[in-house]
Structure 1
Amino acid sequence: MTNLKAPSTAPADLEGGLASLRGDCARMVPHYPVPVRGAVSPVPPSLIHGVTVPPGSARLLDAMSEYGD
């Protein structure tokens, strides 16, 4: 999505497209540096608890054919 509020020398591309999206992403890269981390180990399923899904979200996913069927 093109940020229409950002100053730009090029005219805004309101239709978008892959080239526009790639340009937007390239301009955002410096704002989000990748943190330096070590290797992350997987979490065992026994430690995963307390996850709740709001009823509205569950109904939305249920209504989507690729998830609910």
Structure 2
Amino acid sequence: MKLRFQVALSSCDFKLRFQIAISSCDFKLRFQVAISSCDFKLRFQVAISNYSFKLCFKAEVAPSEKLSLEKS
């Protein structure tokens, strides 16, 4: 089993990324939050996968205030 924990901060145009990933030979779970500035983006993603199925949920907000939701 693998556990990956990542936090990234930047400045100037401000980026923040937070990610947790858990994986074993037959199962993966990924949770990610990303925030940007200047051209403002917010991204939220949860992905769960197994041999037989994959579930991915994404929400993204862009500067034009459009919200896109994607589910697969």
Q: Which has the higher helix share?
A: 1
Give the greater-gyration-radius structure (CA): 1
TM-score by length of 1: 0.19
TM-score by length of 2: 0.19
Q: Which has the higher strand share?
A: 2
